[in-house]
Amino acid sequence: MSVPWAVAAIVAGVWLFAALFQLGDIVTAFLDSRTARDRDIPGRIARERTNQLFWIIPIAALISLVIGVGVDHAGRLFFDAQNPAIGSLFLLGVAVLVVGMGGLTLVAVAATDRGSYAALRRELRDLEGEKLPAARVAEFRARLAKADERTRSRMRPTRLLLSTSSILRLTPIVVGLFVLVAVWVAVALVPNDQTASLVFVAALAPVLSAVFAVLGIRFSLLSDIAWRRVYGRQRADIIGLLEGLERTSRKGVAGLGDRVARALQILREQQPQ
């Protein structure tokens, strides 16, 4: 195989890999839009949305690939210099990076989320009816403000294409254009009657990527709207629980003043004259 066609095959493979992830993004975003439910399960995973969990895979894989290739290349340079000690250290570095990336991915998937509406509501329900100091109630108010900031919609129509997830969904379109250019250059440099029609096939790559990107953004927006309703109900419950705790914290103990006055009077009567 000639060099131009080899380059075109590599670019096409990268685009196919990206297109598969686009399809996975579409499916998971669609499932999230259909399965938005109010869940209150102790020890639940940090991210309720399947789409959020799905995107951990390609990001972690991409970071691992870039780091691994760079470290491996540097290790080969040191091995060529006949320095096995430094080469062994680089291999140890690769192992540490693999274990570290695996650990971070596991933490991101399995860690509980203390800052979510569901976790905050569950904690407030456990304290319902108790008398809390005003400082503790203010702390819960501050945590609610942080939860509001975290769960605020990132798919705003005014900046829809500027979000990180949308940029990732649009990136395969650029890869599809590279496929079209690479195939066109290969046909021009190494013409062949059997491969001339591949230019028209390659033109489908950016078109399909654009369609997948639009569907991914659309289903993600629908999922965001559905989950916003769920978060709204959870937040309303939290507000009600906080108001109940505030009323309880402001209440005095019934008859406390009379009991204190009576105790002081008894102490004065018991004092020797």
Q: Where are the domains of the chain?
A: 17-44+112-173+220-270
How many whole angstroms separate alpha carbon 107 and alpha carbon 153? 24
Which of 139-153, 221-235, 256-270 comes out lowest in average pLDDT?
256-270
Mean pLDDT, the chain, integer: 75
| C-alpha–C-alpha distance, residues 77 and 141, integer Å | 56
Rg for the chain (alpha carbons), in Å? 30
CB 87 within 8 A of CB 78: yes
| Contacts of 219 by beta carbon, 8 Å cutoff, 6+ apart | 26, 29, 30, 32, 33
Q: How far is CA 13 from CA 16, 72, 210, in A?
A: 5, 22, 17
Supply the pLDDT for residue 97.
Answer: 66
- What digits encode the pLDDT tens for the residues 126-185? 887 778 788 888 888 888 888 887 776 544 555 555 666 778 888 899 999 999 898 888
Q: Is the pLDDT at 251 greater than 80, yes or no?
A: no
Q: What is the pLDDT of residue 212?
A: 94
Predicted pLDDT at 210: 94
Q: Indicate if the alpha-carbon torsion angle 22, 28, 34, 38 is positive or negative.
A: negative
- pLDDT per residue over 87-102, tens digit each? 666 666 666 666 666 6
User: pTM of this prediction?
Assistant: 0.65
